[in-house]
Structure 1
Amino acid sequence: MLYQFGKSVKIKNSINRPSIFKCEVNVIIIDKAGRVLLRYLMEDDIWALPGGVLKKGQLLEDAAKAETSNQVGLRCRNLKIFSIYLNCDSYFENKVYDLKLVYVCKDISGQLVYDKAQGKVSLFFDIKSMPGKTSPYIRKVIDDLTLRYEEVMSW
């Protein structure tokens, strides 16, 4: 069973349909002005949070820090767990469960990478004026952040 906001979610498994878990991390980066960083994925024409898939043997927090540094050029410290999401209906007829751990980081350093030619475009957005072109998963994370914004800002 998986827990999200106090609710349990049962994961179905059958003999004919083996389950595979894909584990990802994402980071909600919030600057001193309270804005949220999103990166533009040119190939998909959507905005997303920094993050990626865990490599074998990699720790969750290490993966979050490495992906953020690689994708947007920022170093994250003092990551806090925001939520866990499970998407079990988007890949290969429910054979792959996409488990995503989302962190929040307000303690950042480094230089934000902006290289349009390389497809590295990242911008900070006000929580009330986020871009419309996001995946349903990112939209859910943003909606959850909006509901918990005051709480998160007090961390």
Structure 2
Amino acid sequence: MPRRDYEDDPNAPKANSLVPAASVVVVDGGGRVLLQRRADNGMWALPGGKMELGESLGDCGIRETYEETGIRIEIMGIVGTYTNPGHVFAYDDDEVRQEFSICLLGRPVGGELRVSDESYEVAWFTAGATDELPMVPSIRKRLADWRSGAIPVVR
């Protein structure tokens, strides 16, 4: 289901749902970060997605990372919380979701890189190499927060 991101855009449609979600900054032993190129918008992004009933936020991050990248992870901490009511995702089924995402920090414990129906490219990048990749501002912000070591409480 294709989506369009709007961040602090006065022309954005009004949100009609709020869904808890997790994203994960997965960092390997060499300091590289795991990214996927999303099938719905062609942008590089962190693995992540909506939380399902019956799972914890950490379990959500672990599941989404494996589903989208083929990499098994463990959660090591938190990068930040992101709840900007001006950031919405508009889907082609008329859902307009307000952002509610906790970005976790993870490390790989197994698996092999692979694409999914949500991604068409998956790769490891040095932190500096992410600067030139096409990505939406909210993902760039999460990476900047991870790189700075600051833990933002509210965004």
Under a length normalisation based on structure 1, what TM-score does the superposition of the two structures give? 0.72
- Distance in 2 separating the partners of 1:103 and 1:128: 20
- Distance in 2 separating the partners of 1:140 and 1:50: 15
- Distance in 2 separating the partners of 1:125 and 1:18: 33
Q: How do 1:1-155 and structure 2 match up within 5 A?
A: 20-91=17-88, 97-114=98-115, 119-130=119-130, 131-148=132-149
Q: What is the match of residue 9 of structure 1?
A: none
Amino acid in the other structure paired with 2:56: L
C-alpha deviations, 1:47-85, integer Å up to 9, x for none?
000010112332111111111111111111243122111
Report the CA distance shift for 1:18/1:63 in structure 2 as closer, same or farther (over 3 A): closer
Q: What is the match of residue 6 of structure 1?
A: none
- Distance in 2 separating the partners of 1:148 and 1:18: 31
Q: State the percentage of identical aligned residues.
A: 24
The runs of 5 or more residues in structure 1 that have no matched partner are 1-16
- Distance in 2 separating the partners of 1:137 and 1:66: 21
Conserved? CA contact 1:78–1:107, under 8 Å: no
Deviation for aligned residue 1:140: 0.5
Deviation for aligned residue 1:110: 1.1
Report the CA distance shift for 1:147/1:105 in structure 2 as closer, same or farther (over 3 A): same
Conserved? CA contact 2:71–2:111, under 8 Å: yes
Taking only aligned residues, the RMSD between alpha carbons, in angstroms, comes to 2.8
Please identify runs of 4+ aligned residues in structure 1 that moved more than 4 A.
17-20
3-state SS of paired residue (1:71): helix
- Distance in 1 separating the partners of 2:45 and 2:69: 12
Bigger Rg, which one:
1
Under a length normalisation based on structure 2, what TM-score does the superposition of the two structures give? 0.72
